Amino acid sequence: MNSNSISFFLKASFCIVLIAFFSSCSDENALEAEINLIPVTIDIDRFDLKFYNATPEEYVELKKSYPYLFPEQFPDSIWVKRQRDSIQTLLHAEIKNVYPSLDPVKEELVSLYKHIKYYFPQIQDPHIVTVVNNVDYQSKTVFADSLLIISLDTYLGSKNPLYEGIPNYIVQDMEFPYMMSHIVDEIGTALVKSPANRTLLGQMIYYGKKLYLKDLLLPKASDSVKISYSQEQIDWVHDNERYMWQYFIENELLYKTQSSLFLRFIEPAPFSKFYLEIDNDTPGKVGQWIGWQIVRSYMEKNPDVTLEKLFETPAMELFNQSNYKPAK
């Protein structure tokens, strides 16, 4: 092949890549434009303010209106004491400081629910209730049918002094940009079929499906926001994906069911436990990350698969059809 032929070939290849890229961008823009036309009604019910400012008479009405926020096993005295608790006062003051308006929250919720209604038209417009929950970071958001509860005191910023003492791997996503991601986590739990077995692979792909849901519902979010990593942690899993996968294969871990594997590679943690010198450099839940890449590979190779089918597909079948290959 002479130099002119090589030059022509390179230019032609470059043009093909450009056409494919712009075609993909055009398709994505058209989809987003279609989604943006979907009507959604979002109203935020500020229970947090109603409770904090309630008079004794109003308190009685609050209990009637929000019975799910007043468990019967707790006497009224507990709630009355909590209403004027010094920690509650601090949290309310900080919420007002961090969120002088909830308009940014509402804007993000409108975008999220437009995407939800596009992919899952059966899901109703939400009844959104904001609460203060004593920084219960294990219940930042709660989703049940059309009810969505958001604990505003768990989104005050990772550097907020009120969070002093909370481990960094937990506090790093107690920021507003992660709020929608946590909401999709809760919705994903309701939509994605739980794994039929407790193998490590089953758990990896279960969480991978939930993370893939975020690719669709939160298309503008970064991968770090979707999985609650820092950018440095995202860089680490990208750079070490091949080595992690090699570790799982060589140690024959994929089909094992020990609960310790869930703790080592799936659950949020300060780091994953390979029992190697690199452990302190790793982020937690790397099994979720790899499961996500497997699901992405599966959907790339099976673009006609519906979300309902994806969520129901057994882990082994999905894995076999994914032809997953680590990125590096």
Q: Are residues 217 and 151 in the same domain?
A: no
State residue 46's pLDDT score: 97
Q: Are residues 78 and 151 in the same domain?
A: yes
Q: Are residues 146 and 208 in the same domain?
A: no
**Which pair of structure tokens corresponds to residue 281?**
């450099």
- Rounded Cα distance between 253 and 201, Å, is 8
Evaluate whether residue 85 is within a structural domain: yes
Q: Are 163 and 155 in contact (CB under 8 A)?
A: no
Identify which of 103, 124, 102, 99 has the alpha carbon closest to the alpha carbon of residue 113: 124
Q: Which of the listed residues 156, 171, 186 is the one where a domain comes to its end?
A: 171
Identify which of 180, 177, 175 has the alpha carbon closest to the alpha carbon of residue 160: 175
Q: Are residues 223 and 281 in the same domain?
A: yes
C-alpha neighbours within 13 Å on the C-beta side of residue 151: 18
Q: Are residues 155 and 225 in the same domain?
A: no
Distances (CA, A) of 118 to 37, 159, 184, 202: 10, 36, 14, 28
Q: Are residues 48 and 132 in the same domain?
A: yes
Evaluate whether residue 154 is within a structural domain: yes
State residue 18's pLDDT score: 45
Evaluate whether residue 223 is within a structural domain: yes
Domain total of the chain:
2
Q: Are residues 51 and 167 in the same domain?
A: yes
**Which pair of structure tokens corresponds to residue 33?**
């434009």
Q: Are residues 212 and 295 in the same domain?
A: yes
State residue 84's pLDDT score: 81
State residue 289's pLDDT score: 98
Evaluate whether residue 3 is within a structural domain: no
Question: Residue 153's domain spans which residues?
Answer: 44-171
Tell me the whole-structure pTM to 2 decimals. Answer: 0.89
Q: Please list the rounded mean pLDDT of every run of 10 residues in the chain (328 residues).
A: 50 47 66 95 96 89 93 86 88 96 97 97 94 95 94 97 96 97 97 90 98 98 97 96 97 96 96 94 97 98 96 96 90
Distances (CA, A) of 184 to 145, 158, 171, 218, 314: 13, 20, 19, 9, 21
Evaluate whether residue 258 is within a structural domain: yes
